[in-house]
Amino acid sequence: MTATSNGTPTLEAPGLDWRRQIRFSLIGALSSAFIALAGMPVGLDRRNIIQPLLSMGYLSLLWVPFVLASLAGSQVVLEGMTERVRSSKDLVAGALVGLGSALGLVALMILVKNFNIRDPLVNWSPQLLDLLSFNRSAGLGMVFWIVLGTTLGLMGGAMHVVPTAVRSKTLTVLLSVLAVSVLETFITDLLKGFQLEIFTDFIYYKRGGLEIVGALLVAALAIVIPLLVGDRITVVRTRVREMPADERSRVNLILLLVGSALLLVLPFFLGKITNELLANVGLFVLLALGLNIVVGLAGILDLGYVAFFAVGGYTTAVLTSPNSPGFSPQLPWPVALIVVVVLTGLVGLFIGAPVIRMRGDYLAIVTLGFGEIIRLLFLSDWLSGWFGGAQGITNIPGVDVGFATVNGIDPRSVFLLVLVFSAIAIYISWRLEHSRIGRAWMAIREDEDVAEAMGVNTTNTKLMAFVVGAVLASFSGAIFSAKVGSIFPTSFLMLISIIILVVVIVGGMGNIVGVIVGALVLIGILGGPKQPGLLQEFSEFKLLIYGALLVWMMLKRPEGLVPNVRRSRELHQEEFLQDAWLKGEIDTDDEENPS
Amino acid sequence: MLQISDLSVTFGGLHALRNLDFQVTEGEIVSVIGPNGAGKTTFFNMISGMVTPTSGDIVFEGESLLGLDPSQVTERGIARTFQNVRLFANMTILENVMVAQHCRTDQKVFGALFQTNAFKSEENAIREYGEEVLSFFGTRLTGYRLEQPASVLSYANRRRLEIARAMATRPRLLLLDEPVAGMNPRESAELTALIGRLRSEWGFTIVIIEHDMSVVRDVSDRVVVLDHGESIAHGSYEQVANDPNVIEAYLGRQVQDEQAEEETSP
């Protein structure tokens, strides 16, 4: 008894909803004005995307009409519904949304020109007006914006009208040009390592951004390469998928080995800046993997995770630095690491024991408190005889590995060290997830009472998650100490806990790959709390973007960039069940399979 | 096997259970019936350690269960199902029965990290026993179903999986809270037969809360009736079914009585 899935669609999708379009144009107007007043256009104008044409500043406004128009035109097609036939009306609707966004800017320009409220709004400046009017007269600028906004809106709307192939090609081209431009530092650095500067000199402008020719080249490549590769990738993939299990795992193993080998070789082709950047990303990967065990697997919302990072960092500093004020055994780093791991594990137990019996909001608040307490203890005068108070601990030697010393002066070595520890952390996460303890963690996340009733000692199991998370954070702390060479209480702000949590959520909770992708995207591109990312100009707006991204992810894609199948099921339970029922995957009764 | 003596639970001013005495001997199937709100589920919650009694004692195989955590009660050999099916919906069917063997296994982090032989053989044993438990319900929960999430199961299959999960904890006493609720007559007849097999093949002693009287009649050696937290009758199904107290609890007092009352009251 399967539900109708192959039968004729029963419902017709509703037509164009003009109220939705108007709502989106208002959203567009408000977002454009907000972005302008937040200072993004002026602040980001220094960074070029395509040399004379487009800067990051303008891009921060131009995406609004395009993306919103395309969002406004999108329609959820439920199973059993026919998709609405798109018509020129959709173009008009897109143009309307674009126009709305542009009018928001126009209104802002009029206000900025005639009134002065620079006092509360720092960015309410002639500079903004100049930028918005393209350094010409304000009137001309307004006309320009209306034309631009409407055109972009029209294009956004057109995304639903044109054939899918055209749409995906357009998006590929846009995204690849953007990506190549954003990744400029990385690509230049990498190609320099291979002595291929000619290429980067050709596509990039001397002071940043793509040349027009470069942009065209990238666009052309984005179209040509998929054509050349064709569906060869999918063919290979299906072939691998159809292999017998042992052969498939052998292929996977080979891929894994090749991938790791490439990763290990990569640092030698990269320059200082990129290595430094990737080392920072690696530190956050370690932290995020640890938090992923606590939040993603066991479902314990820990907002004070930075505490373990701090304990790891400080313990390493005390044990290795000759400048440690109280106790200075000057142990070599590897020996110190053992003590660090044990000690952080104990701190995990100590903090976890009182906290673990709480649930939900209370747990989050208490962990937040403990995170701050730990930092304040390191800052306090009371313990300054041990940890140096606000002066921190300086002169932390690097890691002596015999033939080289790993410290901040040589980011390449730090990156290699981080890679090794990330591999260890990934292995730990992976093995634990698929073990008795991992299953118990998941059961607790699903339903704590039932897990307890099914014989899982929830207190011990949750404590175990806390301790394992703490140990992974202590790896990161120990490497951080050795890398930076000096640590202060301000290195361990609460913000770090929040950012790690955002990395885990945006990447995909409970998913190792997701967490790594999240760290690469957020820390690598936007930058960490104090570490610059590829888009250094973003530093002022980093938190704004983190926040916006978090809200957007929570609304639209709560399972993260790389979803864990299980988590995504959990979050889209209703839709999933409905779909499964419609497709006949759920048996509504047992007529089919009597035992 | 299980002796409950003089047990009371109060929630604030409400007496959920009052001076209850109850025994189960090894190999019995006992039904607990009673109208809604009679305290049946509280009774289960208390045995399984989720609710602490205000007074009285629960003794299982000679040892008191008072003050034990639910997980410790499960470890002693009592497993339960829930009235409003509570599976680990996003874990696979196999994982649901694997995790239930938690208290019967003891591999820790070390084993998992270094993939010791002990760890591997324990994992295999957990898996095999899980599949064995699932195959008790025929092919419904096995085969391709093993790797599917529990949330895709039909209502009846979720109930079956819940029983399988309880079985996987290797209990001696099984507490089933309305196992056939929401099932159609055919399914419930089938499950009734399975409950009998749970005793004869798996050696479980069983306590059932059930509303479906045909099931109660078919499976139980003894029936205990609860009303307002008190045990108002016990005995065989026939004895209980004809007990005037029970009829009154379910149907209210006789019409004549009410009329008589009305006549006297004004």
User: What per-residue confidence (pLDDT) applies to A570?
Assistant: 58
CB < 8 Å from B in window 463-522 of A: 464, 468
> What's the mean per-residue pLDDT of chain B?
89
Contact state of A447 with B82 under an 8 Å Cβ cutoff = no
Contact state of B140 with A458 under an 8 Å Cβ cutoff = no
Whether the CB of B156 is below 8 Å from some CB of chain A: the reply is: yes
Whether the CB of B116 is below 8 Å from some CB of chain A: the reply is: no
Whether the CB of B151 is below 8 Å from some CB of chain A: the reply is: yes
A456 vs B contacts (CB less than 8 Å): 71, 99, 102-103
Contact state of A593 with B139 under an 8 Å Cβ cutoff = yes
Contact state of A439 with B102 under an 8 Å Cβ cutoff = yes
Tell me how close the Cα of B193 comes to any Cα of chain A, in angstroms.
13
Tell me how close the Cα of B241 comes to any Cα of chain A, in angstroms.
32
A442 vs B contacts (CB less than 8 Å): 88, 90-91, 95, 99
Whether the CB of A297 is below 8 Å from some CB of chain B: the reply is: no
Tell me how close the Cα of A256 comes to any Cα of chain B, in angstroms.
19
- Helix (H/G/I), strand (E/B), else coil: B12: coil
Chain A: residue whose CA lies nearest to B45: A453
Mean pLDDT of A408-421: 91
Q: At residue A49, what are phi and psi to the nearest 5 degrees?
A: -100, -60
B113 vs A contacts (CB less than 8 Å): 427-428, 431-432
Is the pLDDT at A554 greater than 60, yes or no? yes
User: What per-residue confidence (pLDDT) applies to A593?
Assistant: 43
Spatial separation of the C-alpha atoms in residues B154 and B140, rounded to whole Å: 10
Spatial separation of the C-alpha atoms in residues B233 and A52, rounded to whole Å: 91
Mean pLDDT of A571-583: 60
pLDDT digits (tens, 9 = 90+) for A422-464: 999 999 999 999 999 999 999 999 999 999 999 999 999 999 9
Rounding to the nearest 10 degrees, give the CA dihedral for residues A158, A159, A164, A169. 110
Tell me how close the Cα of A483 comes to any Cα of chain B, in angstroms.
28
A436 vs B contacts (CB less than 8 Å): 102, 105, 107, 112, 122-123, 126
Largest interatomic CA distance in chain A = 81
Taken in order B24, B27, B28, B29, the sign of the CA dihedral is positive
Contact state of B89 with A570 under an 8 Å Cβ cutoff = yes
Chain B: residue whose CA lies nearest to A578: B152
User: What per-residue confidence (pLDDT) applies to A584?
Assistant: 59
pLDDT digits (tens, 9 = 90+) for A23-48: 999 999 999 999 999 988 888 888 88
Whether the CB of A460 is below 8 Å from some CB of chain B: the reply is: no
pLDDT digits (tens, 9 = 90+) for B102-149: 999 988 889 999 999 999 999 999 999 999 999 999 888 888 888 888
The pLDDT confidence band at residue A358, using thresholds 50, 70 and 90, is confident
pLDDT digits (tens, 9 = 90+) for A233-246: 888 888 887 888 88
Mean pLDDT of A288-311: 94
- Name the nearest CA neighbour of A399 among A480, A501, A280, A281: A480
Contact state of B48 with A443 under an 8 Å Cβ cutoff = no
- When CB atoms are compared, the residue of A447, A455, A567 closest to B102 is A455
The token pair that represents B63 in the structure block? 């040892």
CB < 8 Å from A in window 189-248 of B: none
Contact state of B157 with A569 under an 8 Å Cβ cutoff = no
> What's the mean per-residue pLDDT of chain A?
87
- When CB atoms are compared, the residue of A427, A456, A457 closest to B99 is A456
Q: How far is CA A103 from CA A111, A169, A241, in A?
A: 12, 30, 52
With a pLDDT cut of 70, the percent of chain A lying above it is: 91
Is the pLDDT at A594 greater than 50, yes or no? no
Whether the CB of B165 is below 8 Å from some CB of chain A: the reply is: yes
Superfamily assignment of B2-264 in CATH?
Answer: P-loop containing nucleotide triphosphate hydrolases (3.40.50.300)
Query: What is the pTM for the complete model shown?
Result: 0.88
Contact state of A464 with B91 under an 8 Å Cβ cutoff = no
How does DSSP classify residue A408? Answer: T
SS3 letters across A256-301 = HHHHHHHHHHHHHHCCHHHHHHHHHHHHHHHHHHHHHHHHHHCCCC
Any idea how long chain B is?
A: 266
The pLDDT confidence band at residue A148, using thresholds 50, 70 and 90, is very high
Contact state of B50 with A438 under an 8 Å Cβ cutoff = no
Largest interatomic CA distance in chain B = 82
Tell me how close the Cα of B108 comes to any Cα of chain A, in angstroms.
7
- Name the nearest CA neighbour of A558 among A543, A568, A548: A568
Q: Are A221 and A176 in contact (CB under 8 A)?
A: yes
- When CB atoms are compared, the residue of B112, B137, B138 closest to A437 is B112
Q: At residue B223, what are phi and psi to the nearest 5 degrees?
A: -130, 135
Using 70 as the pLDDT threshold, list the residues of chain B that sit under it.
253-266
- Cα B50 vs. chain centroid, distance in angstroms? 13
User: What per-residue confidence (pLDDT) applies to A408?
Assistant: 83
Whether the CB of A587 is below 8 Å from some CB of chain B: the reply is: yes
Domain residue ranges in chain A: 11-161, 272-496
Whether the CB of A458 is below 8 Å from some CB of chain B: the reply is: yes
- Helix (H/G/I), strand (E/B), else coil: B109: helix
